[in-house]
Structure 1
Amino acid sequence: MEKIRMTTPLVEMDGDEMTRILWRMIKEELLEPFVELKCEYYDLGLEHRDATRDQVTMDAALANKKYGVSVKCATITPNAQRMTEYSLHEMWKSPNGTIRAVLDGTVFRAPILIDCIKPVVKNWKKPITIARHAYGDVYRGTEFRIPGPGKAELLFTGADGAELRETVYEFECPGILQGTYNKDTSIASFARSCFNYALATKQDLWFSTKDTISKKYDHTFKDIFADIFETEYKEAFAAAGIEYFYTLIDDAVARVIRSEGGFIWACKNYDGDVMSDMVSTAFGSLAMMTSVLVSPDGCYEYEAAHGTVTRHYYRYLKGEATSTNPMATVFAWTGALAKRGEMDGNAELQDFAKTLEAACLETLESGVMTKDLCGLAEGITPTPVTSEEFIKAIRRNLEAKLGA
């Protein structure tokens, strides 16, 4: 068959460790034989980020703003151990955090569902989408160790020189201190992204923080959401027959567990990070979770919700076969290709993305799956396979569907 052509480049952001290996396999087996990929490539592997003093991450983010759609491999956010392992010049910040700050978007994460894997929460019947604010908070925080007794203060100096000052704590011993921030403009973008996504998908929207404790920080999130909903979205939600409501995050957790699913749960940055892992694991596996960053000006970044699978990578380096689940990474590619096709009016590319997703799901439903899913499957006798075998099985199904 003739390869499908692309008209506008897709921004491709390569990554680290085992997911980098899977990235190459997916391209070679599932994409390049069928699509004439047109990509602007950026290597966000930790070594190259260090060599460019992380400029490559900023360049990739700006390229996303230019072209509108990107696909990103999982990357390492270095800690002290990684500093030594990779001989880094600096403990670079999270690439995801940098990209999210540039795009000022919201991350929407939803599980990939198959019939043979039932949610751990037995009453969940429909997917739960986590909408995660993708800016500020602890991901852009400033922190340090307190060496001994002394007074910690929070100080703001306005452009006019006026000061706001509050004592955080009078330390009587060593401790730790952290300062976090957010912006009204980013919170407003978060709110509008959530309201727009809810209307587009015809799903109820829940939003939760802890404003009873954080009476200024979290309460500002609550107020901005409420003001924007009342003035811009209330009538549209009523016409669509969907609901928006706010509740405390501890109450939201209880409601989510008791629910049937089928709604969007909007969370602040850290809350969304944790809750998306909880939801994906309860539905089956973190490797079965889609993730897309949507910016207010219509830019999209698709990625896997999980990390770089370090443990499998070390086994791979020893020459051992691994059974790493590539589904989230495959769906990052299909999501990006489908969106690129939609934005370019390229129906062939959109159809290919849907067909590849269907081939993946049929492969799993047939019982061919990586080891992480075998213990979860019900009603079938699963066949555990390596990562490479799984991808090749998807290709056979894909070729059959395409008549290739």
Structure 2
Amino acid sequence: MKHGSEDQGRLRGGDAGRRDDSNDRITVEAAEAVQRYSVGIKCATITPDENRVEEFKLKQMWRSPNGTIRNILGGTVFREPILCKNIPRLVPGWTKPIVIGRHAHGDQYKATDFVVPGPGKVEMTYPQRWRASTGGVAMGMYNTDKSIRDFAHSSFQMALLKGWAHQNTILKKYDGRFKDIFQEIYEKEYHAQFVEKGIWYEHRLIDDMVAQAMKSDGGFIWACKNYDGDVQSDSVAQELKYFSKALESVCVETIEAGVTRADYLNTFEFLDKLAENLKIKLANPPNCDLPTHPPPPTHAHIQTQELTLKTKEFALRDLQT
């Protein structure tokens, strides 16, 4: 995305490459612009590690831009796998999608952490104290009641929309706050609607929920805290990485086949490779009869895969070449 100002088409861009020059202010401004205009497109970015800091001579190891944007926008990120009948699933019993609702605010992604240089005391100013006899690491993180309430509402509303049961994933007081707020909102505002639809809500510990998910046939909303949602969404999407993604409201996201962003250092290399693969695919279309009037993107993608992909190995090879 190029840096610029608003033009006649009301397109406003912010170059993520300016993160270092602006002390990451550009990321904050981008999120604030999305709040103003109610829409935004984020290109691929890199969260720098120690090697990237040295390679690009960065001032510091900047935090994940995705995390920064999510913390400002708030809401819930829903990820749902797209199932094709002729592509085997990681768990064969998953005949229905599992929708992961990831709380898009706070926790580890807004935490403060540091290396403890030696023996000493770490203080949480309100009011916990912890004493260690050796060095180590420490981290403080937070969330807000308002954000948790919004998370609960969006999760329950998604469950009602899908008509599926809802189960959420415990840190005693920290996770307990999530549990208490979810239960309160469910009893006061959603219990009757759930009963009417024949669905239910229950709280489970994360390890119990993972085991239950592996044995299930899918078809439920799984509300997770920020980090848990990050991990579990990759699990249900499987290695093919087919999933639909929505932030609060339903958004259609481009589903790309052929290259992985992680293989490239910058967006231009990534887009060049994507364009090259697309050109090859268009020059050699699959030998199948596609509908004259294609359905919406997600359904068209599924239908194309089911018409052309006969085995899992072929599917993986097609996506990775």
Out of 200, 208, 214, the position equivalent to 2:161 is 200
State the distance in 1 between where 2:276 and 2:201 align. Answer: 38
Normalized per residue, which structure has more strand? 1
Structure 1 CA distance, aligned partners of 2:180 and 2:237?
Answer: 29
Q: Are residues 1:126 and 2:96 paired? A: yes
**Partner residue in 2 for 1:363:** 304
Closer, same or farther: CA 353–108 of 1 in aligned 2, 3 Å: farther
Show the counterpart of 1:309.
261
Q: Kindly indicate whether residue 218 of structure 2 is the aligned counterpart of residue 261 of structure 1.
A: yes
- What is the number of residues matched between the two proteins? 297
Alignment of 1:291-310 (within 5 A): 291-294=245-248, 309-310=261-262
Asked if the contact 1:205–1:263 (Cα under 8 Å) also holds between the matched residues in 2, the reply is: yes
SS of 1:178's equivalent in the other structure is strand
- In the TM superposition, residue 262 of structure 1 has moved relative to its aligned partner by 0.9
CA positional deviation for 1:185:
1.1
Does residue 113 of structure 1 match 2:83? yes
- Provide the TM-score with structure 1 as the length reference: 0.65
Show the counterpart of 1:147: 117
Q: 1:96 to 1:322 in 2, by over 3 A?
A: closer
Q: How far 1:192 moved relative to its partner? A: 0.7
C-alpha displacement at 1:321, in angstroms? Answer: 6.5
Structure 2 CA distance for partners of 1:195 and 1:321, relative to 1, 3 Å: closer
1:40 has 2:1 as partner: no
Alignment identity in percent?
A: 40
Give the structure 1 partner of residue 228 of structure 2.
271
**Contact 1:291-1:303 within 8 A present in 2 as well:** no
Q: Partner of 1:260: helix, strand, or coil?
A: coil
| Structure 2: gaps (5+ residues) | 3-8, 279-292
* Match status 1:234 vs 2:191: yes
Aligned pair partner of 1:67 in 37, 47, 72: 37
CA spacing shift, 1:386–1:149, aligned 2, 3 Å = closer
* 1:93 correspondence with 2:63: yes
Matched with 1:223 is 180
Residue 56 in 1 paired to residue 26 in 2? yes
1:315-335: CA deviations, max 9, x gaps? x969x9689999xxxxxxxxx
Specify which of 124, 132, 136 is matched with residue 175 of structure 1. 136
Structure 2 residue 49 is matched with structure 1 residue 79: yes
RMSD (Å), alpha carbons:
3.4
TM superposition shift of 1:363: 3.2
Which 5+ residue runs of structure 1 have no aligned equivalent?
Answer: 1-13, 16-37, 157-164, 327-351, 388-404
Other structure's SS at 1:87 match = coil
Cα distance in 1, alignment partners of residues 236 and 174 from structure 2: 26
Give the aligned residue type for 1:356.
Answer: P
Answering whether residue 321 of structure 2 is matched by residue 384 of structure 1, we say no
Structure 2: how far apart are the matches of 1:49 and 1:154? 30
Query: Following TM superposition, by how much is the alpha carbon of 1:61 offset from its aligned partner in structure 2, in angstroms?
Result: 1.6
Partner SS state of residue 62, structure 2:
coil
Cα deviations by residue, 1:142-185 (Å, 9 ceiling, x for unpaired): 011111111222212xxxxxxxx2222x2222211111111111
Q: Answer yes or no: is the 8 Å Cα contact 2:166–2:200 preserved in 1.
A: yes
SS in 1 for 2:124: strand
What amino acid is aligned across from residue 64 of structure 2 in structure 1? S
TM-score, length of structure 2 as denominator length: 0.80
| CA-CA distance at 1:301 after TM superposition | 9.2
Q: Deviations over 1:267-300 (max 9, x none)?
A: 011111111111111xx422x1222221xxx696
